[in-house]
Structures are given as structure tokens and as C-alpha cells.
Amino acid sequence: MQYKSLLTEVSAIADNASEKAHEIYITDFQIDFKADESPITAADLASHKIIVDALRELTPDIPVLSEEDADIPWEQRKQWRRFWLIDPIDGTKDFTQRTGEFTVNIALIEDGQPVLGVVTAPALNEAYWGAIGAGAFKRDSDGEIHRISVTEPKDTVLVVASKNHLNDDTKAFINKLGSHELVQAGSSLKFCRIAEGQAHIYPRLGPTCEWDTGAAHAVLAAAGGKVETLDGTPLKYGKEDVLNPFFVASGSWYRQDSQK
């Protein structure tokens, strides 16, 4: 599969979904709640429809799993060697609180790993994309496109973390890193900050789902980074349970055994 040409088409799909999401973002939108009490807005549903419809037209032979349509039986999903993994709006709380740090996420998963990803931040007017063999890129708020890559810490480790998820285990992990500074970022932008060299590591010792991480994981991997579980194995996708184990996203400089 030619990832480079596919990236162009998928980026256009993400931009279309982002434009619609932003149209809703600047209105007095209604907030509803799912059965698990997580928030949902018209932007989640509109973005989902735009992306899913476009991907099914672009690649009718590749199945799609979206957060907003996740009730696909495991008996069906376990047959998928390749599938699209979508989070129409990651950071719905950021959306509803109008922080601007919500994202639209599209990933292509092959054999348990994200091989292509697009992440857009509609309110920030930024976008990131990357794929195996194609590198990773950022389109900034001025529309300029830059190739991006991870960096290694010098004296201070820049740790990206969320104030909402800074639990005791995460604090203990961060303290073991030595001299560090916290870098705030919402939603999947945490991975992107590492991919563009603005942060070095993101420990997530709390619950996430596969669609929360897939697209940004692909961008980070294309930028030279990695996402590993706490035992040092690559974070995998296409599991029966869509919940991710705890993980650490970083540049290639980080080694899990340094925490022991």
C-alpha cells in the first residue's frame, strides 16, 4: 500500500471533518452524555459521519472502527488484519470547556500497529500527519508545512502530562526522570508535542482506548518515537478489549529499565 499518496487523501478527509467540527465549536452547542457519562456533542457525530463515509468510499475493502460506532462484535473484528481506527473528536471535555485542545484523529492499523495517522486541531488551526516510510509533518497555524522529528533531552526532560490525569503513580514515574519540566497539552496533542520535539516523554498511567492513541501514535512513530507498555513491548491495536494498558510515549532515547 502506498502510504504517501494515501496520507494526502486522508488529510483532506480530516480537514473536512475539522472544518465542520469547528463550525459547531464556535456556536452555542448542546452537550449530551453517553451511557458511561462521557460528554458528546453534535461535533462528535458530524465528524464521525464525514470521516466514515469518506473512508468507505476511498477504501471500501478496509473496515472502520470509530469511537462513535464501536459495538462491532469481536468475532468480526478479530478477522481484521487492516482497519481504520477513528476518534472523531478526542478531548470532548476540551471541546466543551473551549480550551481549543481537541483533535480529529484517523489511523490506519496493520497487524496490530498504526502505520499511518492524521491528527488535526481545528481550533488551533494545526495538523500533523505521518506514515511508515513517509516521515512526519506539521502544518502550523500559518499554513506552513514542516517536517518534524523527536529530540533527546539535554539537561531537563520535558514531560507532557494532563492536569486531569496527574495521579500518584504518574507523579512517581515523573520524579524518577530526574530534572524535568511539565508541558501541558490536551487530547492526542501530547503525542504530537513529542513528535515535533517540543516535549520528550508522555507517561499515561491511566485508562485510554485504542482510538484515543492510534493516529497520534502513528505520527510519533513516523517522527522517530515510540509508544510502549510498562514492560517495554510496543502498544498494540486490534485487541478484543479496546482499552489500552498503561504506556509511555517517548523518543527513542528512553528505556523502560531506567525506571527500575
Amino acid at 91: G
The grid coordinates of residue 174 equal 515523573
The confidence score (pLDDT) of residue 128 equals 98
Domains of the chain: 3-148 (3.30.540.10), 157-259 (3.40.190.80)
151 phi and psi angles, rounded to 5 deg: -125, 160
pLDDT digit of tens for each residue in the chain (260 aa)? 688 889 999 999 999 999 999 999 999 999 999 888 888 999 999 999 999 999 999 999 999 999 999 999 999 999 999 999 999 999 988 999 999 999 999 999 999 999 999 999 999 999 999 999 999 999 999 999 999 999 999 999 999 987 667 889 999 999 999 999 999 898 899 999 999 999 999 999 999 999 999 999 999 999 999 999 999 999 999 999 999 999 999 999 998 876 65
The confidence score (pLDDT) of residue 166 equals 81
The grid coordinates of residue 228 equal 510502549
Residues in contact with 64: Cβ distance below 8 Å, sequence separation at least 6, in sequence order: 52, 55, 56, 83, 84, 86
Under 8 Å between Cβ of 232 and 256: yes
123 phi and psi angles, rounded to 5 deg: -75, -25
The CA distances from residue 181 to 142, 157, 171, 178, 254, in Å, are: 28, 6, 12, 10, 16
